[in-house]
Amino acid sequence: MSDDTVPTLVDPTWLENRLDAPDVQVLDCTVHLSTDGSGEYQLEPGYDDWADAHVPGSAFADLIEDLSETEDPDYPFQLPTPADFAAAVGDLGVSDDSRVVLYDTVDAGNNNEWAARLWWLFRVFGHDRVGVLDGGWARWTAGDRPVSATVTEPEPATFTADYRPELVADGDDVAARLDDDDACLINALRPSDHAAQRIPNSENVPAVGEDAVITDDGTYQSEATLRERFADVGATEAEAVITYCGGGIAASSQALALYQAGVTDAAVYDGSLSEWTADPDRPVESDE
Dihedral sign for Cα atoms in the order 124, 53, 45, 143: positive
158 - beta bridge partners? none
Sheet holding 183-187: strands in order across?
168-169, 267-269, 240-244, 183-187, 203-204
State the CB neighbour count (10 A cutoff) for residue 164: 14
Residue 184 known to be catalytic? no
CA angle at residue 56 from 7 to 110, to 5 degrees? Answer: 60
Choose, from 9, 133, 242, 245, the residue flagged as catalytic. Answer: 245
Distance CA(61)–CA(88), nearest Å, equals 8
Distance CA(117)–CA(163), nearest Å, equals 16
Residue 285 amino acid letter = E
CA angle at residue 143 from 141 to 145, to 5 degrees? Answer: 65
Distance CA(268)–CA(276), nearest Å, equals 13
How far is Cα of residue 220 from the mean position of the Cα atoms in its chain?
Answer: 13
Q: Mind telling me the catalytic residues? A: 245
